[in-house]
Amino acid sequence: MAETSSNNGGTDQVLVEETASVRTFILNRPKQLNALSFQMFLDDYYGTQISRLLELFHASEGDSNVKMIILKGNGRAFCAGGDVTAVVHNVRHGNWKLGADYFREEFTLNYVMATYSKPQVSILNGIVMGGGLGASVHGRFRVATEKSVCAMPETALGLFPDVGASYFYSRLPGFFGEYAGLTGARLDGAEMLACGLATHFVPSERLPFLEQALAKVNTSDPDVISAIISRFSNIPKLKAESPYHKMKIIDRCFSRRTIEEIISSLENEALNKKDDWISSTIQSLKKASPTSLKISLRSIREGRLQGVGSCLIREYRMVCHVLRAEFSKDFFEGCRAILIDKDRNPKWEPSRLELIRDDDVDHYFCKIDDEDWEDLKLPPRSNLPPYAVAKL
């Protein structure tokens, strides 16, 4: 049975459907493409949409009757990410710690999902951007469709792939994670399945039948759940122009040590053969915030050697530095140019890669010099399933 109204008479931003053993949580901001809200109405009991999800996940984990969670979105998006426009507005009219509180709560949700003791099935039937990946990829099962489109476009916004992306992007095949994270490349459902961001591909017309079958589940056994999803799944064909066909070039170029070397390597490839994909990849990198590119590459590289908790703690430090804007205000400029004024012409500062020193990059990975600040404190977790333990 779905809950459809909040305490103040407004529409719930997370709807809940219940069967005997399954809880379905539905992100319900369709006009905002289910972007994770920074703040609901001030008198709303649930606070943010993220805090509501945390509350629901904790309650379901403590309920022995609940065996599985389904997470999906209402409308044409699963989740278009965090509501960063609201974050920027609040930071500009208050202080950076308001934004830090949002990211602390979001990263905590990511960690709870990554270490959840019951299987989470995310139905990714539509747009999956930024924080939408954080709300799904950390879970056990991710179902893509022909309508799926996913990306981490943060470098174009002056941010970096966060929500644990330095963990899950660094574990994609070869150096595909560096490619996707630095360029903000959009991937379709077939590509999500091929690279591992999705575990299954189900045509959208079969989703109602899949959800009916999952609603009858009375077990947390991932093998049983996977078998049910597989009954409705198929293996889609990659489109001819898919970047996944470019893995040899991606591995040659995106394995380089620095952003400058990555771009130089791609430019050398372009000299040897005319390829529109290479040209557009170079263009994407040159349009992105130079600071974002530098810190994003280092973040993904460090993520290769860290568990999901360590990645989220480091990313929280990084995002606090971004919000404080001591070295660069690119996040605020990127949001202005892409999301607010929409002139798509950000003025990055520093404007060129060579103006950013290694010491400047190091700064983003250090603790914040503020006596009231503290590192991200992740909740203690116990009785974890093997797939969650592996992430740690």
- Catalytic residue numbers? 82, 131, 154, 162
For residues 180, 185, 186, 189, the Cα torsion angle rounded to the nearest 10 degrees is -30
What is the Cα–Cα distance from 176 to 208, expressed in whole angstroms? 32
For residues 195, 199, 203, 205, the Cα torsion angle rounded to the nearest 10 degrees is -150
What is the Cα–Cα distance from 389 to 392, expressed in whole angstroms? 5
Residues 6+ apart with CB under 8 A from 384: 115, 117, 392
Q: CA dist 278 to 275, 292, 355, Å? A: 5, 21, 25
Cis peptide before 350 (omega within 30 of 0): yes
What is the Cα–Cα distance from 142 to 85, expressed in whole angstroms? 27
Place of tokens 């064909």: 237
Choose among 110, 171, 162, 197: nearest CA to 318. 162
Bridge partners, residue 143, by sequence: 123, 200
Helix (H) or strand (E) holding 67: none
Q: Do 159 and 105 form a contact (C-beta atoms < 8 A)?
A: no
What is the Cα–Cα distance from 50 to 47, expressed in whole angstroms? 8
Burial (CB < 10 A; 0-12, 13-18, 19+), residue 345, is exposed
What is the Cα–Cα distance from 337 to 7, expressed in whole angstroms? 36
